[in-house]
Amino acid sequence: MVAKYVLKQSKNGKFFFNLHAVNGQIILSSEMYEAKASALNGVESVRKNGPLEARFDKLDGKDGSSYFTLKATNGQVIGRSEMYSSRVARDNGIASVMKNAADAALDDQSAAAA
């Protein structure tokens, strides 16, 4: 298996993508985009910013769980993680995004939903 971006279209017609690690686990989820082209730009932004540790914000939820966001050069959040049970797990998630973001394949599943 390889790391990949899976691009999908939601029931309301918006587009989003998830970055899957080699093991198939989702390690980053995008926001919802009005247009497919915008979602593809989001993938390119993750490819560019994902390998840069300075682009990640390490955050803690109200319930004590940990998560991270990935920001573009302009400071806009382009993806966020799931909630992790510990900061170590969150940091491992960041490391996985950094390792996989630049070279992950694109699996466009949006055509099937259109």
Domain layout of the chain by residue ranges: 4-113
Q: What is the pTM of this model?
A: 0.93
Measured between alpha carbons, how far is residue 22 from residues 28, 37, 64, 74, 80 in Å? Answer: 13, 25, 28, 29, 18
Distance, CA of 22 to CA of 25 (rounded, Å): 7
Using 70 as the pLDDT threshold, list the residues of the chain that sit under it. Answer: 112-114
Give the pLDDT score at 114.
44
Give the pLDDT score at 1.
75
- φ/ψ of 2, rounded to 5, equals -125, 160
Domain 4-113 has CATH 2.30.29.80: yes
Give the pLDDT score at 3.
96
Give the pLDDT score at 112.
52
